[in-house]
Chain A
Amino acid sequence: MRRLIGIPALVVALLLSAPGCKRKQQKVEVIETEEAAQDLASMIHVADPRASLQLVKGFHDVEQNAWRWTMQKFSVTLRPPAGAAEKGATLRLKLAVPDAVIGRLKTLTLAASVGETPLEGVTLVKAGEQIYSREVPASALKADAVTVDFALDKCLPPGDVDRRELGVVVTSVGFEAK
């Protein structure tokens, strides 16, 4: 039983050290950071950690290291490719419509705009992988970076199966030079 005295003794010893030690900054181990300069990309894979800063809004976390669910509205910021300010570029969104979505919503209409320039939308009626591709005029690509906004007319609201708002599954998005 005498050994039990050691427990309160240890507690008291630890406490006695608390006010005395706190003033000096604890020496902390550090983890190196990546400092290499990074430019904006024209085409991004949404699962790439480097692309995350270009995902403005409307994307859920990466799944299976390959894709992300979107919400009803989602946006990315992209660097226009070389020469786009003169010749324009092609916007390509690689997406998949899961069976669960098309089964519940029947059809989905996807609209997009580059800055203030609206692009022609598309109606998605089948499940599976698809590519949304539209020509973007040079006038919309004059800046160093542009924001592309996408909007679906419907989505799966948060519910019992998934507590997130779900739109479509996206793997990549970006501009291709002409």
Chain B
Amino acid sequence: MKRAARAAWWVLPAVFCLALYRFGLKAWFQQDDFAWLGLSLHVHNWRDLASALFEPKAQGTIRPLSERAFFLGFYSLFGLNALPFRIAAFATQIANLVLAGSIAHRLTGSRGAGFLAPVLWTANGALALAMSWTSAYNQILCAFFLLLSFRLLIEHIETGRRSYWTWQWITFLAGFGALEINVVYPALAAAYALCRARPYFRKTLWLFVPSVAFAAAHWHYAPKPTAGRYAMHFDASMLSTLWRYWEMALGPSRMTLARIEPPVWLAAAATALLTLLLLGFAVQRIRRGELLGAFLPAWFVLVIAPVLPLRDHVSDYYLTSPLAGLAMLGAWALIRAWKLSWYWRATAVVGVAVYLASSLPVARAITRWNFERSREVRNLVLGLARVRELHRGKVVLLTGVSADLFWAGIHDKPYRLLGMTDVHLAPGAEKNIEASGETGAPGEFVLPEAFALRALEERRAVVYSAAGPRLRNVTNAYLTVARVRWSKTEEPRRVDVGDPLYAGQLGPGWHRLEGRHRWMGKRATVRLGGPRSPAEKLHLAGFCPVSHLVGGPIRLTVAVDGRRLGTFTVTKRNEEFAFAVPIPPEIAGAPVVEVALEVDRTVRPAGDVRELGLVFGVVAIR
């Protein structure tokens, strides 16, 4: 191979990746990114760092490398400059392409297949989310560890050198820091050994030991949602979920994402054609004794298998690693077809054309959409940074917030990273934002009308509209609107005890504010707007440090307007507790109620004269 051709073999897939996903390189942060960036706010010492790195977070995930270390480290170095994060994601994916090409070359013996595999993988629209959203970096890094481990295994099998086997162990174990689906690597290794290197099969079984241990630990320690999107269903629905992923992997069924709407029959026919070509080729190879034809489809099934129980959370970025196997199969099929008659060449060209025509527009559309969404979030967050400079210390109310902007740019409180805490939705701004059952309600971000109006009248608040490309100060116009619309006297139905704005709602029994929380003594009261209907409940959210539970659980007795609603036991150590308490129906409609909280015992820490009950938190009726 000439030098130029060799260089092109390595470089062109990376160039293609950069060209197709270039908007992903320019994307800013959004959504979960801010939760991960916000980890740094809780890191004050080495113990905090260990907790930030290894404590289970959303859905019980522990991904110290791809999420915790990645965001903590890059944020500490680059702050809110998203480009280094994106460069890291692209650099990792380019390494993945090199590995995929190298593996395809080794497996098929064809340099052509080694070139085409990363190209076909890159073209798949299912990669777009991972290539344009920093929180999906875990998928890219997981693919890196899977591919690198597998590449080292091949090297070990081909050369017999022990160092490759050792490095394979190291990269395999490191992969657990990227994503849970790393547990499937031993299955990949064993399947490969069965198909191509039987003498190594027994050796690969040792790899199952850490996978089984990880799966058992994860199963034991991580919370297992029984309802909602993340509930796991180990039943026949896994097959239909597998089919959905297969359809998504091939592409035609997703063309509507690029606003291309072919007739349903056409998309189904295209999916059937690609299925027939890929699986037909695989079967033909198996019949000729080339078990690689079984291994590559198995790669897809094995790597997607861990997410098949998530029937209600089918997401395209889960396909990032499984697609590598299909891309290698497709590349191999193309190269084989090219060596046959014109008929098979024409068939291969049709297959590739259908695949590229359905996948490339989707890849572009999703990347562009994510980019534009992230830029809107950037305008909001960096606009808030300017608001902080102009109106330091004032409450900021936001209006004109679309549902998409709220969930992408406000819900995870990016303004905390700017040192801002008093950023709220203006009363009524939440009405056009649909609540999301599992991630919270926009109402929690709204400042109560009476508070907002008082703050505006006293010039302690400013109002900005997020409806345009830049934040716009609409304080004066809004004050006119507020005087017409907002009640001056209505009591808030949600009191954030840790927010100084709500200090006037607190009765006796509370200690001084500490950061964003407040300790109660043995008994404390809160004044709230009463329930609007008998169906509403009293919601309590607080925190109990581990030191308080040394003497056993703490019992919290709750009363509303002197009526005892019940006693609740706080057992969670160093975790938030939350209770939803039914309210007697006769209290519905009361304009104001007094909530009394009382603990059965308090703790007086050494050197502190205070009697400490529990930390709050939020008291709300909804």
Contact = CB atoms under 8 A, between A and B. Distances in A.
Contacts, number: 161
Interface string B312-324: 0000000000000
Nearest to B52: A18
Interface stretch (B70-78, B246-254, B264-272, B526-534): B70-78
A21 B428 contact: no
Contact of B80 (A14, A19, A22, A28): A28
B549 interface: no
Interface string B59-83: 0000001000100111111011100
A26 B80 contact: yes
Give the size range of B's interface with the partner: 35 or more
Interface string A55-86: 01111110000000000000001010000000
A49 B400 contact: yes
A56 to B, nearest CB: 6
A36 B476 CA distance: 10
Interface stretch (B38-46, B120-128, B338-346, B347-355): B38-46
Given A15-B72, A22-B76, A33-B471, A144 B382 contact: no
A34 interface: yes
Interface string B460-483: 000111011011111011101101
Contacts of B74: 14
Interface in A4-43: 4, 7-8, 11, 13-15, 17-23, 25-40
B382 A30 contact: yes
B390 A35 contact: yes
A27 B481 CA distance: 36
A145 interface: yes
Contact of B470 (A34, A54, A145): A34
Contacts of B428: 56-57
Contact of B485 (A14, A37, A147): A147
A79 B480 contact: yes
B382 A38 contact: no
B417 interface: yes
A19 B46 contact: yes
Contact of B43 (A18, A26, A28, A35): A18
A107 B43 CA distance: 61
Contacts of A40: 477, 480-481
Contact of A77 (B43, B379, B484): B484
Contact of B480 (A32, A35, A56, A145): A145
A110 to B, nearest CB: 20
Contacts of A21: 76-77
B431 interface: yes
A147 B390 CA distance: 31
A58 B387 CA distance: 29
Interface of A: 1, 4, 7-8, 11, 13-15, 17-23, 25-40, 49-50, 52-54, 56-61, 77, 79, 143-147
